[in-house]
Every structure is written in structure tokens, then in C-alpha cells.
Structure 1
Amino acid sequence: MKLITVIRKTQPESRYTKKMGVLLTKVTYIKKAILGIPIKTLHSYRMTYYGEIKECRNCSLAK
């Protein structure tokens, strides 16, 4: 049994951008876990309609 693992999880979220307004997109989180308990988020990104991968820091969660 491994003590430290990396978990990748994709879930739909609503994001807000100035150009497009409210946007429903799939966001992927990469988290570090110790004994199956998530400890720290290492990276989060989203895929656009055109297939580009963008950072989640570029768009906010609220209006």
C-alpha cells in the first residue's frame, strides 16, 4: 500500500469570465493524498470548447 498518492478528479463547475459571462465547464483537480485523504491541490485546469487547456486562475468563481 502506498502512503503518498496523486488523485486526479474531474467535475463540472460554473465559472465567470468577462467576455463570455457564466460558463459551465469541466475542471480537473490534481491533488496529493496521504493514505487516501486529500491534503493539497497541486494543479487545477480546465479544457475549453476548442480543446485548449487553461489555468483556473484566469477566471473567477463569482460575478
Structure 2
Amino acid sequence: MKLIKIHRKSKYEKRYSRSMGKLTTKVTYIKKYVLGIPIHTLHRYRETYYGEIKNCSDCNLAA
């Protein structure tokens, strides 16, 4: 049995960027798990309409 695992999970989130306004995008989270409990997020990124991969720090969450 492995004690430490790394999972990748995608979900749709509503984001806001100054140049594009509100958008719904698919955000992928890479998390580290110890004994099935998530410890912290290693990386998160999103894919643009044109297929580019961007970091999520360039746009803010919008409700």
C-alpha cells in the first residue's frame, strides 16, 4: 500500500480576467495525498480556448 499518492483532477470553474471578462474554464489541480487525505496542492493550471496551458495566478475567481 502506498502512503503518498499524487492525483490530477479537473473541474470547471468560473474565472474573471481583466482582458476577457467572465469565463468558465476547465482547471486542473495536482494534489498530494497522504493516506487518502489531501495535504496540499502542488500545481494548478487551465487550458485556454486555443489549447495553450496557463497558470491560474493570472486570473481571479469570480462568483
TM-score (norm 1): 0.95
Aligned-partner Cα distance in 1 for 2:62–2:51: 24
Structure 2 residue runs without a partner (length 5+):
none
TM-score scaled by length of structure 2? 0.95
User: CA RMSD, aligned part only?
Assistant: 1.1
Structure 1 residue 12, shift from structure 2 partner: 0.2
Equivalent pairs counted in the alignment come to 63
CA shift, 1:36, in A, is 1.0
Structure 1 residue runs of 4+, over 3 Å off? none
Query: Which residue of structure 1 aligns with residue 33 of structure 2?
Result: 33
Q: Aligned partners of 1:7, 1:40: CA distance in 2, in Å?
A: 11
- Equivalent position amino acid for 1:60 in 2: N
Equivalence for 1:8: 8
CA distance in 2, matches of 1:16, 1:35: 35
List runs of 5+ in structure 1 lacking aligned partners.
none
